[in-house]
Copies of this chain bind each other. A is one copy, B any other.
């Protein structure tokens, strides 16, 4: 298995408070971060589709989560000045790369969730 020492070398890491790595980790593992990113992995989604896909998220948290990821350069927001308004969200290349790195974790959880919860 890949050891932490190999992952991090000798630099400050996510284990160090205030390290940039910790900041990014907090964004990604924020309450709705993983689900929003995973939802966008399937392709571009509109605000309303995103809200329906990520079941249970409030509008406030969806807006906040998306704003964070747009600022991080992981998500693109495309607002069209039509009536009614239409706003599309999609992953940037960087965002797609991140979701690929997340997919083993998502797969593992999907496969083992029942065993963990039902013990």
Contact = CB atoms under 8 A, between A and B. Distances in A.
A21 B113 contact: yes
Interface residues of A, number: 61
Interface string A4-39: 110110000111110111011110111101110011
B116 A8 contact: no
Given A116-B73, A117-B20, A109 B1 contact: no
A20 B31 CA distance: 16
A17 B73 CA distance: 28
Classify the interface of chain A: helix, strand, loop or mixed. Answer: helix
Interface of A: 1-5, 7-8, 13-17, 19-21, 23-26, 28-31, 33-35, 38-39, 41-42, 53-56, 72-74, 94, 96-110, 112-119
A32 to B, nearest CB: 10
Contact of A21 (B25, B30, B33, B110): B110
